[in-house]
Amino acid sequence: MKNSSNVYIEKYNQNLDREEFDYNPDNNILVICAILSGGTDQIGKFAPFMSIVTIVCLTISSISLILHIGATLLAPDLQNLSGKNLFSLSVALLGSYLTFITAMFR
C-alpha cells in the first residue's frame, strides 16, 4: 500500500487510480473522493421523494401556524401573556419554515 498507484475496492469491484484517492501512511487512512460530473451535481443524502414529503408537511404546518396567528390576532381572550408568548413562538417557527422552504429551491 505504501507505494501503490491504484487501489482495488472489493465491495464495489472497482479499481481507483492515484488521483481518485488520498492515503495517509501515518494514520493508515485511505480517503476516497467522489468525483462529480461537471462539478454541479450533488450527491443526495436522502431519496428524492423525501423532499416532496418535507414540503407537503411543512406546508400543512405553515397553514396551521397562519391560522393560529390569525386566531390570536382576532380573539382578545388569547392576547394574555401566555397567548403572546405562543404567538411569538409561532411567528418565529413560521419564519424558519419559510426560510427553509425558500432555501430548498435556491
State pLDDT tens for residues 40-95: 555 667 788 888 999 999 999 999 999 999 999 999 998 999 999 999 999 999 99
Calpha distance 60→55 (Å, rounded): 9
Q: How many domains does the chain have?
A: 2
Residue 1 lies in a domain: no
Residues 79, 69: contact at Cβ < 8 Å? no
Residue 65 lies in a domain: yes
Same domain, 52 and 99: yes
Per-residue confidence (pLDDT) for residue 83, from 0 to 100: 94
Same domain, 56 and 88: yes
What global pTM score does this model have? 0.58
Residue type, 56: V
**pLDDT over threshold 70, residue 1:** no
Residue 55 lies in a domain: yes
- Compute the average pLDDT of residues 34-41: 56
The closest of 34, 27, 26 to 9, measured between CA atoms, is 34
Same domain, 32 and 63: no
Residue 86 corresponds to which cell in the numbers above? Answer: 405562543
The closest of 92, 91, 84 to 66, measured between CA atoms, is 91
Q: Which 3 state secondary structure label does DSSP give 6?
A: strand
Residue type, 78: L
Owning domain of residue 14: 6-39
**pLDDT over threshold 50, residue 16:** yes
Residue type, 103: A
Same domain, 31 and 52: no
Same domain, 86 and 56: yes
Same domain, 24 and 70: no
The closest of 71, 68, 75 to 91, measured between CA atoms, is 68
Same domain, 59 and 17: no
